Chain A
Amino acid sequence: MERRNSKTIWIIATVVVAALLGVIAYAVTMNRTKTDDTALKAQDNSNQQEINKPDTTENTKAVTISFTDQGFAAKSYTVKVGDEVKVENNSSMQLQFSSDDHPTHTEETELNLKVLAAGESVSFIATKVGTWGFHDHLHSQYTGELMVTE
């Protein structure tokens, strides 16, 4: 009887593990496709910020993402390719504006900015079309998304 029970337990456990491994395999495949180009670019993107400095002579629009002590002022922001995105730290804490996912920041590395002290701001130009999640790496509960359109 005990042997039979043990067998049942192992069958159940095997089914559960197999199902979960299936989910992982699917998710890994999904993840790999998405991060194909960016998998090895997890480090801070501050050099790129220099290259992508807003060109004030062009006819670009600007959107400001404000960060306060309660998090980002809006959940979603929309810009067009070539528009300037300004991130303002209006909170009393430090802000490390980062692309999703936490903590690897590989979704869109253009969004990985340097650490901003209270009152500081930084700008970059949106160059890739898509919907990019972002968060504060230092307080990852604060999130939002940036929609970059054609």
Chain B
Amino acid sequence: MKQWVRNNFSLTEWLVGGSVTTLAVLAWAFGTGSSGTLSLLKIFPVFGLVAFGLMWSHYTVGTLRRWSGYERRGKDTYWAVSAGLILALIILHPVLLNISLIEAGLGLPTSSYFAAYGNVDGWFVVLGTIALLVFLSFELHRWFRNRQWWKWVEYAQIIAMVAIFIHGTKLGNETTYSWYMVVWWGLAVTLLFAWVYNWRYDKAHLPRR
């Protein structure tokens, strides 16, 4: 198994990312996407589901790379494509929601979140917005990844992933009321495992920053 992953690492990456994306799209297509007329408010959840799945794949593929002992040579097309897609999706997810809330006359965020979702769930939308800002800060890695303090930005990504999981669990229908709930919690458990594995591996193999 380990050798197969090492010999077919690129295929493994696409299989992991493709599977998690397909499951998210299917859950949406048979859930929110299947009822009534398609609109922005029905479309935007699938962007969040796919984005979370692809971000999950970045961590788990990293674990598979460490575990299999695969050493990368040349460019990583999967990382390039999925990173671009994640960036587009995490921007589009709130943009579509906000367009709909403005069109409905509920005003601008964050007051529109509370007007639409109520005083309790509105906070979970705000939590998602904070996580989005943390995810966007990762794009600064092109310039700052060699700085000593950059590790704190990476730790913040982990906290943001937890925040997004809570945001999705509280607000998403697919994540709570369909067969996808099993996948959703499966993603959380494997993500936790991946973080611990990656942290222990890097501590043992990488020089201290």
Which residues of chain A have a CB within 8 Å of any CB of chain B?
Answer: 5, 8-9, 12-13, 16-17, 20, 23-24, 27-28, 30-32, 34-35, 39-42, 100-107, 131, 133, 140-141, 143, 145
The answer to whether B37 touches A28 (Cβ under 8 A) is: no
* Contact indicator per residue, chain B 173-209, by CB within 8 Å of chain A (1) or not (0): 1001100000000000000000000000000000000
A104-B106 CB under 8 A given contacts A8-B80, A12-B81, A24-B95 = yes
User: Please, which residue of chain B has its CB at the minimum distance from the CB of A28?
Assistant: B99
The answer to whether A20 touches B92 (Cβ under 8 A) is: yes
Which residues from 157 to 182 on chain B have a C-beta closer than 8 Å to any C-beta of chain A? 173, 176-177
Chain B residues within 8 Å of chain A by Cβ, number: 33
Which residues of chain B have a CB within 8 Å of any CB of chain A?
Answer: 35-43, 75, 80-81, 83-85, 87-89, 92, 95-96, 99-101, 103-106, 116-117, 173, 176-177
The answer to whether A39 touches B103 (Cβ under 8 A) is: yes
User: Please, which residue of chain B has its CB at the minimum distance from the CB of A21?
Assistant: B92
Give Cα A145 to B100, complex, Å: 21
User: Please, which residue of chain B has its CB at the minimum distance from the CB of A143?
Assistant: B35
The answer to whether B75 touches A145 (Cβ under 8 A) is: no
A140 partner residues in chain B, CB cutoff 8 A: 173
B96 partner residues in chain A, CB cutoff 8 A: 24, 27
A31-B40 CB under 8 A given contacts A24-B95, A42-B104 = yes
A107-B92 CB under 8 A given contacts A8-B80, A9-B83, A31-B100 = no
A100-B36 CB under 8 A given contacts A13-B87, A24-B95 = yes
User: Please, which residue of chain A has its CB at the minimum distance from the CB of B89?
Assistant: A20
The answer to whether A13 touches B43 (Cβ under 8 A) is: no
B106 partner residues in chain A, CB cutoff 8 A: 42, 104
The answer to whether A141 touches B85 (Cβ under 8 A) is: no
18 A-B contact pairs sorted by A residue (CB < 8 Å): A9-B83, A12-B84, A13-B83, A17-B84, A24-B96, A30-B38, A30-B39, A31-B100, A32-B103, A34-B37, A39-B105, A42-B105, A100-B37, A101-B100, A103-B41, A104-B41, A104-B101, A145-B35
User: Please, which residue of chain A has its CB at the minimum distance from the CB of B81?
Assistant: A12
A103 partner residues in chain B, CB cutoff 8 A: 41, 116-117
A145 partner residues in chain B, CB cutoff 8 A: 35-36
